[in-house]
Structure 1
Amino acid sequence: MSRPPKTTIALDIPAGWLVGIDLYYFTSTPTFKGIKSIPPGRTHILHWGQDETSVRNGVVFEAKEGEVLIFKWDSKKEEMLTNQTIDIAEALSIVPEQYPYMLAFDTISEEHHTAESADFATLTNHVTQSVVSSVIAPDVVVSSTTATAQEAGVLKGALQKSKEQRDKRHASPVAESDVSSSTKKDASHDIPADEMNNITPGFENLDKEPTLNFPALTPDHTWRPGSTGRERTLDSLDSSWYIENVLLKDSSSSSLLGYLQLSFLLCLVLSNYSSSITWRDYIKILCKGEELSSKNPDLYVQFFDILVHQLTVAPAEYLDGLLELSALMEPLGNLKEIIFEGQRGFNNEEDAVNPRLKRGFDKLEGELEKMGYKLQKPEED
């Protein structure tokens, strides 16, 4: 069959569910079969959940000409089947009969338009397919509970340590030949079944769970390897070396901003807490970029603009909920001091205040003040 124009999403989902694309939300009907005519060339997020209180799931994708994405809810497994888990040929064969019952993207945007939804393109202007594919594998469904690879690694390490401790605790100091089979059998009754199998309850499928592969961030450890004394202190106060030589080593400023935007998007749409941590970590690191803000003001002007747009669309309950905005008042206060007072003299002579940075930060601070937030001065060491 010839494929429909633009991007088409065939979505087989129960009626009455809360479905959305980008920042548009609507309730599925018995006749709803998907979304059609999604303009190519932009990043979108398709998301769904049983209602407003349930765990939300979603897929981030780039719309392409002639692209057909298939999603089918499996009620027995209680999971969404995607292009990689269903028979594509069979699914495509029924698209023509479903097509008339799909909602056009333009229709959705007109009928469910809000002030916030209009900002979606600006919220994702750095979220390229390259950024998305480096964080999320193709067709992988992300949910409110999906962890970052960094968090999953910490958890796996803790579980491995727990396993080793259990093994050590249950290891018998007595030689195997000295213990009768009946004694071993009786002793095994004292060991929980999960410990006998070296499996921690609730984490049997941990390795199979998808993760968000954002770059690993260490906002409290921004010094260069092997540094000591004064050099480590300077790198702790000024994250410029870390940003340039770690975060931008195999990436670009635009990609860095793309990760910042993607982490916010997953937090905003899916209520993904792990992404909110990543979002805050990026902000904390950028807020210490003293030398970099002078060398690359364009990056920081864009950074301020992104934050303003993000704060504009964030629900009020998210500010000190998922986003934990209060925790950023001191880092942002530190950045204000850098911009308005110039370099502190640790690495360079003092620089004059950059007017573009000043205007951008003034706008950001004004937005924060409208929301009732006040920047804090950094604590003196």
Structure 2
Amino acid sequence: MDQDTARALFAKGACLVIFDAPSGMEFGMDMDTWETGPLFKGIKMIPPGIHYVHYSAVNSDKQAGMRSGFFHNYMSGEIVARRWCAETEQLFPRDNVSEDDVVRIRANIRDLDSGLAAYPLGGADGESSYLRWQRLTGYIAPEMLTRLLPCGGEFTSATGSAYEDEEMQRAQRILHRTEPAIAASAVAADADADRFGFARIDIKHSFPAGAAAEDIRRYSLDKTWLLRTLLCEHWRSASGLLGEMQLSFLIIFVGQNFAGLEHWKHLLHLVFGSAEALEDGGLVADLFVPAVRLLAVQLRECPREFVASVLEQDNFIAVVLGSLVLNLHECGSCSGREALEPEVGRLRGLLYARFGWSLPDGQQMQEMADLEEGEYAPQVVSLD
């Protein structure tokens, strides 16, 4: 990078300054991770936009501990300051660094330059980690960080969500039947814990209250009623759903928190399990096509071991994509098929080339569905 470019990026980009950063800890931003040295003071030339800072303390055996981190929407020229707490092994949020500290940093920012690592903007053939990050975050709006993440955007590998709360409540109901004196206080204590603000998607109850038996059967298999209801009442737009699909994936993929995995799986099942919605050309263009493209981007980033250990559980990807292929095969909208089938075809090629997965075509899916057997038969899939 030439000096003029570096100066321009330094002036336009944001800076993350870390006070008292220990040497030897695992520290990263977005897709990159480093080991800090004795002079480390933070990151400079951060492109404006949403980024994820993550870190783990390292013990004497060089083993990294639980990952902690925070999302932040960086403004051009912004200085974000955090202070390392050796006792808790965490970065204190901004309100633990005084405004006077920030003013002094801004006045002396060039004196810190030697201790500030440059955000990695370069990359072979234009495939820098920043460009990959942009593809993974393009639908995440800044308001999502406030609405969906714990206070301050901070979370750890252990931060919970509504899905874990549901499991806890189920366990407490069982406990209450055997140990009545314990249950209520345990639930109350858990309710105060920090958690992600994802609205729980109840895939198993995807029909309206008071529905007739035929509608219960119909919308237990086809998630269109639930999809349209949540798009109207919760997300307001397809972009909102896609943003949550991106954020939940990143929470598991870079945040190493399995609460993100549960929400990501429910979102995929909701979208790809909605058959009637494929008749809506606008929804195909605004939601289904971007969702398939986004899934391809996400899977392209996944190393084989991540897929084997996480995404192949219960063969989930095969189930949800099988539903999509079958629904598309049976779709009466020619325009919907014309728009979506090329995207599914490209995804099918990626799955085979990268993971050795063979996604059946529509006719094969139809034959399996007609046989009413095997994992691809139409059924209500439990995500428990």
TM-score calculated relative to the size of structure 1: 0.80
Q: Match of 2:7?
A: none
Contact 1:7 1:37 in 2 (8 A): yes
Contact 1:248 1:256 in 2 (8 A): no
Residue 71, structure 1, aligned to residue 90, structure 2: no
After superposition, the Cα gap between the structure-2 partners of 1:279 and 1:93, relative to the gap in structure 1 and judged at 3 Å, is same
Mean Cα deviation higher: 356-365 or 97-106: 97-106
Deviation, 1:246, is 2.1
Contact 1:271 1:322 in 2 (8 A): no
Q: How does 1:147-162 map to 2 (within 5 A)?
A: 147-155=160-168, 158-159=171-172, 162=175
Residue 91, structure 1, aligned to residue 78, structure 2: no
Residue 304, structure 1, aligned to residue 292, structure 2: yes
User: Match of 1:139, as an amino acid?
Assistant: G
Report Cα offsets for 1:111-150 as digits up to 9, x if no partner: 8997665311011100110222211145232111211134
Q: Distance in 1 between matches of 2:80 and 2:174?
A: 42
Residue 364, structure 1, aligned to residue 364, structure 2: no
Q: Distance in 2 between matches of 1:104 and 1:159?
A: 48
Q: Distance in 2 between matches of 1:353 and 1:247?
A: 19
SS in 2 for 1:321: helix
Deviation, 1:39, is 2.3
Q: Match of 1:100?
A: 113
Q: How does 1:189-204 map to 2 (within 5 A)?
A: none
Residue 142, structure 1, aligned to residue 155, structure 2: yes
Q: Match of 1:254?
A: 239
Q: Match of 2:197?
A: 213
Superposed CA RMSD: 2.9
User: Match of 2:319, as an amino acid?
Assistant: E
SS in 1 for 2:153: coil
- Runs of 5+ unmatched residues, structure 1: 169-194, 344-349
Q: Match of 1:171?
A: none
SS in 2 for 1:110: coil
After superposition, the Cα gap between the structure-2 partners of 1:352 and 1:69, relative to the gap in structure 1 and judged at 3 Å, is closer
User: Match of 1:282, as an amino acid?
Assistant: L
SS in 1 for 2:216: helix
Q: Distance in 2 between matches of 1:101 and 1:204?
A: 49
After superposition, the Cα gap between the structure-2 partners of 1:199 and 1:131, relative to the gap in structure 1 and judged at 3 Å, is closer
After superposition, the Cα gap between the structure-2 partners of 1:220 and 1:109, relative to the gap in structure 1 and judged at 3 Å, is same
After superposition, the Cα gap between the structure-2 partners of 1:140 and 1:237, relative to the gap in structure 1 and judged at 3 Å, is same
SS in 2 for 1:274: helix
RCO higher in 1 or 2 (8 Å CA, sep ≥ 6)? Answer: 1
Q: Match of 1:375?
A: 359
Contact 1:126 1:257 in 2 (8 A): yes
After superposition, the Cα gap between the structure-2 partners of 1:352 and 1:77, relative to the gap in structure 1 and judged at 3 Å, is closer
Deviation, 1:199, is 6.4
SS in 2 for 1:109: coil
Q: Distance in 2 between matches of 1:261 and 1:334?
A: 21
SS in 2 for 1:69: strand
Report Cα offsets for 1:18-76 as digits up to 9, x if no partner: 21111122111111111123222x21111111357431111111111343322222112
Contact 2:159 2:257 in 1 (8 A): yes
User: Match of 1:78, as an amino acid?
Assistant: E
SS in 2 for 1:329: helix
Q: Match of 2:373?
A: none
After superposition, the Cα gap between the structure-2 partners of 1:68 and 1:165, relative to the gap in structure 1 and judged at 3 Å, is farther
Residue 7, structure 1, aligned to residue 14, structure 2: yes
Q: Distance in 1 between matches of 2:71 and 2:276?
A: 35
Q: Match of 2:372?
A: none
Q: Distance in 1 between matches of 2:74 and 2:171?
A: 40
Contact 2:40 2:117 in 1 (8 A): no
User: Match of 1:333, as an amino acid?
Assistant: G
Contact 1:24 1:117 in 2 (8 A): no
Deviation, 1:105, is 4.0
After superposition, the Cα gap between the structure-2 partners of 1:336 and 1:39, relative to the gap in structure 1 and judged at 3 Å, is same
Q: Match of 1:130?
A: 143
Q: How does 1:162-177 map to 2 (within 5 A)?
A: 162=175, 165-168=178-181
SS in 2 for 1:359: helix
User: Match of 1:43, as an amino acid?
Assistant: I
Q: Match of 1:270?
A: 255
User: Match of 1:337, as an amino acid?
Assistant: L
User: Match of 1:26, as an amino acid?
Assistant: W
Q: How does 1:108-123 map to 2 (within 5 A)?
A: 108-110=120-122, 118-123=131-136
After superposition, the Cα gap between the structure-2 partners of 1:230 and 1:104, relative to the gap in structure 1 and judged at 3 Å, is same
Q: Distance in 2 between matches of 1:35 and 1:165?
A: 54
Given candidates 232, 237, 241, the residue that maps to 2:221 is 237
Residue 28, structure 1, aligned to residue 33, structure 2: no
Contact 1:39 1:63 in 2 (8 A): yes
Residue 293, structure 1, aligned to residue 291, structure 2: no
Mean Cα deviation higher: 223-232 or 369-378: 369-378
Q: Match of 2:370?
A: none
Q: Distance in 1 between matches of 2:139 and 2:289?
A: 14
User: Match of 2:345, as an amino acid?
Assistant: D
Higher helix proportion, which one?
2
SS in 1 for 2:84: strand
Contact 2:50 2:72 in 1 (8 A): yes
After superposition, the Cα gap between the structure-2 partners of 1:53 and 1:148, relative to the gap in structure 1 and judged at 3 Å, is same
Contact 2:141 2:243 in 1 (8 A): yes
